[in-house]
Chain A
Amino acid sequence: MTGRDTLMGEAKGISKSLTGIEGFDDLTLGGLPTGRPSLVCGSAGCGKTLFASTFLLNGAREFDEAGVFVTFEERPVDIVSNVASLGFEMDRLIDEDRIVIEHIAVDPAELAEIGEYDLEGLFLRLELAIDQVGAKRIVLDTIESLFSAFTNPAILRAEIRRLFDWLKDKGMTTVITAERGDGSLTRQGLEEYVSDCVILLDHRVHNQISTRRLRIVKYRGTAHGTNEYPFLIDQDGFSVLPVSSLGLNHKVHEDRISSGVPDLDIMLTGGGFHRGTSVLLSGVAGSGKSSLSACFADAACRAGEKALYFSFEESAAQTVRNMRSIGVDLQQWLDKGTLRHIAARPTFYSLEMHLAVMLREVLRFKPTLVVLDPISAFVGNAERQEVQSMLLRMVDFLKSHGITGVFTHLTHSQEGNVETDAGLSSLMDAWILLLNREVNGEFNRELYLLKARGTSHSNQVREFIMSNDGIKLISPYLGEAGALTGSARKAEEGRARRAEIARRTEVQRLAEAIDVRRRKAKAEIEALQAVLDADDNEMRRMQADEETYLAQAATDREDMEKSRRA
């Protein structure tokens, strides 16, 4: 019967039981193998018991699968209180007969072994517990402690093998925890008996920063991620954070988002950055990176969307106060719940964990815009390559979710090479360079849109002015001495204004002179015209006289001829 079940199970593909552990079910494409034992191993304090109890409690709470917790070490009261801090009301589940704790305590001091024995008593107790609640899930934590209670390993091994087979026959989805051994996964080589699924938990300290990692060593009959994945144990319990690199097949958005600075949006043809792009703001200290990124967040909230602000240097209160000085009220969005500000020192977690926590927060909060301020904070305490790989994954992740990413980067030099320390330029779709240049004894902020993929944009360096009314960008004065900003610009503008007035006055004067000349000429023309007209009149009179004379002369001649003939 069992054989047939197994065969049918294989034919259909392995069925899986959800663990309800955030991230883990995605990683394994559905959880642990149903009706089979899974081994969770790791060194002391790496979260084995928590993993197992989360699996069991979620089963009872969310998937309507009762469970048996078999503890070989801790007392039941301790187990209940351990998970109580994570919000699991295990005692209530026990009262409701959905969970049962079976405490198998063997005291080697009161035990003597004489002759052959088996562990049928354990089997009977497990069967009783399973039947009591109709369990589908069972946790054995930590069965290896039997090895210190009983001295005959040959019997134990045979019995443990028999136990696993028996649990499989009963269709129990089992989690077995085991301590990590030297050179092997478990001290007693339990991995030999569990061939279906082996999960390794690890807790490493590197550069004084600890990171918990999870790896699926094997999972028969199913695809699974093979990387090490960081996981977290915090007030929300156990969560695995898959941060493997994603492909480049993310959806491309055509719509635009505002940067919160109208003058900056105008610089981009189309009125803003594409949604889902990554924008890098780089500049020296005090060039306005944080302020500009706060504007991005403010604009997103203003548009009724959600923004997530990760700050690695400032607390939420500090950011809010500082931004108020440039007329950006972030507090209203924080109160409204559309903006979340998360502050964490770069040294608080390892890089991997930072990334993992950020991804988790992004998935939970579902923002449309994420700010990382500043990413250069990581460069100090990690390898450049690691930082780059982490940011690459962050950028990929945000893109694949259509989330706009705003990254600020502190540069130490703004002259010459425009390379970021983390070597990020190629990852970014848009790069805004913030400069702070000294001219004639004063520093002036400038903004330059170094690149914006897929958008034609202004190539001008704009003067970047922060005031109570927010950020303004002004086209710089393009004079004979190059582009000018600040006081130089004002002086030059003043000079130009004065020159303009002088020029205008001159033009006015010339125009008036010409007008006078014109009028004079016109008067002369009129006088001459009068002479001309008089001459014309004279001429006409003379002609009339001439005609009269000729007519008279003709008449006279006719008269004379008449008279002669007559």
Chain B
Amino acid sequence: MIDDALGAAPSEPLKLVLYIAGQTPKSLAAIANLERICAETEPGKYVVEVIDLKKDPKLAREHNIVAIPTLVRQLPVPIRKIIGDLSDREKVLVHLKVGAE
């Protein structure tokens, strides 16, 4: 159903959340890599929110985050989580597409 809806409306952006914990090299690398991926794909496909868990550790529990950095695709279900600094662009794209098309 959701897949169909998404298929019918490709302009609907995918919501991505990137969880980091402070300005660590790995977090900064993940932010940079994600920005590059978004810039290289069609604009408006992804909406990215960055959450620093150092500032609000409660969210780590609520969103069940263990590894840092974690990129979460909430929709469409199932939830996908990518952990790591997102240094492999192709792999990131593949994983973001899984179940979304």
Contact = CB atoms under 8 A, between A and B. Distances in A.
Interface of A: 102, 104-106, 110-122, 124-125, 127-129, 146, 149-150
A150 B67 contact: yes
A122 B58 CA distance: 12
B57 interface: yes
Contact of B87 (A105, A114, A118): A114
Given A115-B85, A116-B26, A121-B53, 18 more contacts: A104-B66, A112-B80, A112-B81, A112-B91, A113-B82, A114-B95, A115-B29, A116-B29, A116-B87, A117-B84, A118-B67, A121-B67, A121-B68, A121-B70, A122-B67, A124-B57, A125-B57, A146-B66
B42 interface: no
Contacts of A150: 67, 83
B68 A117 contact: yes
Contact of B68 (A104, A113, A120, A146): A120
Contacts of A110: 78-81
Nearest to A72: B66
A102 B58 CA distance: 12
A150 B19 CA distance: 17
B92 interface: yes
9 contacts: A110-B78, A114-B83, A115-B84, A115-B86, A116-B87, A117-B68, A118-B67, A119-B68, A125-B61
A119 B84 CA distance: 10
Contact of A111 (B29, B60, B81, B92): B81
A116 B84 contact: yes
B84 to A, nearest CB: 4
Interface residues of B, number: 35
B23 interface: no
A124 B67 contact: no
A117 B83 contact: yes
A124 B60 contact: yes
A115 B18 CA distance: 14
B65 interface: yes
B67 A119 contact: yes
Interface of B: 19, 21-22, 24, 26, 29-30, 33, 53-54, 57-58, 60-61, 64-70, 78-88, 91-92, 95
B87 A115 contact: yes
A120 to B, nearest CB: 4
Please list the 9 inter-chain residue pairs (A to B) with the smallest Cβ-Cβ separation, ordered nearest first.
A115-B84, A115-B85, A115-B87, A120-B68, A121-B65, A120-B21, A114-B84, A124-B57, A112-B95
A124 B53 contact: yes
Which one of A104, A113, A120, A128 has the greatest number of beta carbons of chain B within 10 Å? A120
Given A114-B88, A115-B88, A125 B67 contact: no
Contacts of A149: 66
B86 A114 contact: yes
A135 to B, nearest CB: 15
Contacts of B65: 121, 125
Contacts of A112: 80-83, 91, 95
Contacts of A124: 21, 53-54, 57, 60
